[in-house]
Structure 1
Amino acid sequence: MINVTKLFKLRRRGCLTHAKARINRLAVILLTLFVGATSVFAQATTDATDSSNAAADAQEESRLLTGIRQLTFEGKRAGEGYFSRDGQMMVFQSERDAANPFYQIYLMDFATGDIERISPGIGKTTCAWIHPDGNEVLFASTQDDPQAKDKQAAELKEREQGTQRRYAWDYDEYYDLYRYDRKQKTYTNVTNTRGYDAEGSWSPNGKLIAFASNRAAYAKPLSETMRQRLEMDPSYFIDLYSMDADGGNIRQLTDMPGYDGGPFFSPDGTRICWRRFSEDGARAEIMSMALDGSDVRTLTKLGAMSWAPYYHPSGQYLIFTTNVHGFANFELYLIDALGQHEPVRVTFTDGFDGLPVFNPDGKQLSWTSNRTPGKNSQIFLAEWNHQHALELLGLAGNANERPAATVAALDSLRASQPDCSPQDILRHVDYLCRPELRGRR
């Protein structure tokens, strides 16, 4: 006999259980919809914020840069482009040769759009410069290294295995400076000395070459401590030199612990700008000096990694690269030629913007940037607002009138930057090992 009362209780319990289950499922659905909606809203908010920030950054950049466009597209990466004296050509370095994983030197003709490789395709190359007469090109190369092809093969094998090495040969002792004759298609080694000889540039009249070298470390006995340091960090011993265009009359211009590099002549040929790393390699500042190494001036005091300085053709100011806004964010800045005013920010795009250079008439700026869709470094070009640059630097009119926002921003950055820790140095080293920083660092 069926117990009706018990059955009713069981049915009621089942209905309640079913109702609770439905409520629980509904709650889960509502919660899921709420979380999803929240995520979508948060993403939409983030996207809107990013879009707003990008628009604001573009607006900031348009103060000095307009018509920004990409110049190079081919290859894994390209960078460090320099104009010929007449502005009709650009020499640059690029990884685009399937048989050689390292940079090679290329020459671009703006009139025809033609690009030709002018380095031999063997070894590593970097830091090219076109002679004022337009016929010769100066660049650093390891093409005479007996193991050049073996090193290429080893690097290619590493990359095939997906374990690309950290550019361990940055300061290869086989680097020498070569002059390439475009008409004769010949190469002349103008240094031919053991040690890293690179980062060369001709003076405006073509009679002198300024370059960076650690040759002295290989030419004299070193203590065991210094020998180990040379093995671990060859850049510590790099100083600046000058020589006649044919390689004679070599003069050492700097003799300080730490890396001095990236020298360029001023437009009038009376001074040389460069960047000097601190002895521990944690910071670098922009410097200038007379041709004989005297009258040394420190132009920046940002306490960051500031490097790759280059004079505007007017000689009134320089443009350089700095990571004052963070280890992984290199931006372009201006500083007046005497270093008397606060630096002025030029680019406002997160990532890498560096190795800037003006064209001969000072109306355009070219630089290396990873603002590409794939985040690979390529060369960019933009129109340059020289007059506004003078105004921002306080060089047009009253030199004491400085943009308050720039001063306040830099003061805030300095106040928020503690003394460099060992971890900071490691982060600097790791970042500097990245491929986009190869060249005049």
Structure 2
Amino acid sequence: MKQHNFTAYALSGLLMPWIFFSAASVNASDFITDEQQLSVKEKRAGEAYYRADSKWMIYQAEVTDDNPFYQIFLKNIDSGAVTQVSPGSGKTTCAWVHPAQEKVLFSSTHDDAQAKAKMNEEIERRKAGEQKSYAWDYDEYYDIYETDFDGKNMRNLTNTLGYDAEASWSPDGKLIAFASNRRAYSGELSEEEQAFFKANPASMIDIYIMNADGSNVKRLTHTKSYDGGPFFSPDGKRIVWRRFSDNGREAEIFTMNIDGSDQKQITRLNAMSWAPFYHPSGKYIIFATNLHGHRNFELYIVDVDGLKEPVRVTDKDGFDGLPVFTPDGNYITWTSDRTPGKKGLLFHGKWNHQKALESLSLK
């Protein structure tokens, strides 16, 4: 997913015994009310995003037994009608809706010659009851595709060996920010970097930006660690993302200008803090962190400059992550495993923007 790439490797470490500052906390009910579960029929679902007019929601879900991997679905908010826009074969992730046009963006491996074989292999593994730790797959055949609302006129925008995913359009639809480890497949890594990548497949992933047609690709971050999950600010001038530590055990929230300048660290929690997303007001960022326990991810908010203490907004054991606000800023949708089967599904609730401002001492 665009945001959920907290690998088993990343989760394997212990939290640091101290943090730079403590995180403030208030009751979750102060922020989110009228909570409801959106997804019902899916086996698992998550990472929902809205078009600028709030008329469409795109998300990923596993629905049928014949494909064990996520596919991409587009939902008409008024009618409730759902359309699958991905091809149905291979793996898919990281969807987005164009702010004005009837186009969607997502990553897929359906052009991999082994796509169906990999699907069948996973199906047989599940039938055999084989258990394995969760680990995100940085498949080198992931490319970023654009398609119409009906899944037609599909176009490969990256067409480069390596993991190209976690993409989103800018608010004006002219740019796309994404994450990629294409350098690892281009022959430009040093011997030291090659060894590091072999030991840690989540490394060498950087943030890139390109024109909406796939041209003029520019690398924005330059680290050996994993920089990913980029989203544009509401005014389109900055990008928020999360940067993993070199050992993959921690991540912090960062922002930068869209040309890669003024890279600023926003959180200093020394935990796994990731999945950042701007509130439409542009005044604060919501993110997920396991500050309260190795596998207990909660939602927090922090001001865009990182000058205030982050404030906790959920308080349920388990996983709460991948938060996104509706374009008017009045509602929040996120992924949670607060279900009987402990499978990740979509939840939705009314968001108290005024309380968020007060809790961060913002005007």
TM-score by length of 2: 0.90
Let me know the Cα RMSD of the aligned residues: 1.4
**Which residue identity does 1:72 align to in structure 2?**
S
Aligned: 1:215 with 2:182: yes
Q: Which residue pairs with 2:162 in the alignment?
A: 195
Distance 2:55 2:295 in 1: 33
Q: Which residue pairs with 1:356 in the alignment?
A: 323
Distance 1:117 1:380 in 2: 20
Q: CA deviation at 1:231?
A: 3.6
Pairing of 1:366-405 with structure 2 (within 5 A): 366-396=333-363
Kept in 2: contact 1:91–1:129 (CA 8 A): yes
Q: Structure 2: which 5+ residue stretches go unaligned?
A: 1-25
Pairing of 1:63-102 with structure 2 (within 5 A): 63-102=30-69
Kept in 1: contact 2:87–2:151 (CA 8 A): no
Distance 2:150 2:136 in 1: 31
Distance 2:191 2:179 in 1: 24
Kept in 2: contact 1:85–1:134 (CA 8 A): no
- Structure 1 residues 379 and 134, CA gap change in structure 2 (3 angstroms): farther
Distance 1:212 1:241 in 2: 6
Aligned: 1:143 with 2:101: no
**Which residue identity does 1:60 align to in structure 2?**
N
**Which residue identity does 1:76 align to in structure 2?**
K
Distance 2:126 2:195 in 1: 28
Identity of aligned residues (%): 57
**Which runs of 4 or more aligned residues in structure 1 lie more than 6 Å from their structure 2 counterparts after TM superposition?**
none
Distance 1:169 1:85 in 2: 29
Q: CA deviation at 1:114?
A: 1.2
**Which residue identity does 1:123 align to in structure 2?**
G
Distance 1:95 1:304 in 2: 29
The one of 147, 154, 168 aligned to 1:180? 147
- Structure 1 residues 223 and 330, CA gap change in structure 2 (3 angstroms): same
**Which residue identity does 1:147 align to in structure 2?**
Q
In structure 1, the residue corresponding to 2:30 is in which secondary structure? coil
TM-score by length of 1: 0.75
Q: CA deviation at 1:164?
A: 4.2
Bigger CA radius of gyration: 1
CA shift digits 1:62-82 (9 cap, x unpaired): 101100000001222100000
Distance 2:274 2:164 in 1: 19
The one of 211, 235, 247 aligned to 2:202? 235
- Structure 1 residues 169 and 150, CA gap change in structure 2 (3 angstroms): farther
- Structure 1 residues 232 and 122, CA gap change in structure 2 (3 angstroms): farther
Relative CO higher for 1 or 2, CA cutoff 8 Å, sep ≥ 6? 2
In structure 1, the residue corresponding to 2:27 is in which secondary structure? helix
Q: CA deviation at 1:342?
A: 0.3
Point out the structure with the larger strand share.
2
What is the aligned residue count? 338
Q: Structure 1: which 5+ residue stretches go unaligned?
A: 1-58, 397-441
**Which residue identity does 2:224 align to in structure 1?**
P
Q: CA deviation at 1:185?
A: 1.5
Point out the structure with the larger helix share.
1
Aligned: 1:343 with 2:316: no
The one of 77, 92, 101 aligned to 1:125? 92
Distance 2:190 2:261 in 1: 29
Q: CA deviation at 1:129?
A: 0.2
Q: CA deviation at 1:244?
A: 0.1
Kept in 2: contact 1:158–1:165 (CA 8 A): no
**Which residue identity does 1:87 align to in structure 2?**
S
Q: CA deviation at 1:233?
A: 2.5
